[in-house]
């Protein structure tokens, strides 16, 4: 199964929303938080997505439609 690491940036109105939970339950993907930081104004998470490419693509499109900014992450995060 393909793995993809993405940077999710949450605006203040989504900080308390269960976005990662929704991604892992509404799509056939496994999520793994690699690094994160959250304040009252903004939050970001480097998230590893594991699953079929079609499901990963659908999950990313859904996150964007919910108002989350999604950007690719290149290189290893917390490894080596």
One digit per residue, pLDDT tens: the chain, 80 residues? Answer: 678 999 999 999 999 999 999 999 999 999 999 999 999 899 999 999 999 999 999 999 999 999 999 999 986 555 53
Of 33, 43, 29, nearest to 5 by C-alpha is: 33
3-state helix, strand, coil in the chain (%, to 5): 30, 40, 30
pTM of the predicted model as reported, rounded to 2 decimal places = 0.87
Position 80 scores a pLDDT of 36
- The architecture CATH gives domain 3-72: 2-Layer Sandwich (3.30)
**Residue 20, SS3 per DSSP:** helix
> Contact at 8 Å (CB) between 10 and 42?
yes
Q: Give the tokens for residue 64.
A: 């964007």
Position 42 scores a pLDDT of 92
Q: Where are the domains of the chain?
A: 3-72
Position 31 scores a pLDDT of 97
């Amino acid at each position: 199964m393909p793995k993809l690491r993405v940077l999710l940036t949450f605006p203040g109105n989504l900080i308390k929303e269960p976005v990662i939970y929704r991604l892992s339950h509404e799509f056939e993907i496994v999520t793994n938080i690699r690094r994160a930081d959250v304040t009252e104004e903004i939050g970001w998470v480097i998230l590893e997505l594991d699953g079929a490419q079609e499901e990963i693509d659908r999950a990313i499109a859904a996150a964007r439609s919910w108002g989350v900014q999604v950007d690719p992450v290149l290189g290893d995060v917390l490894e080596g």
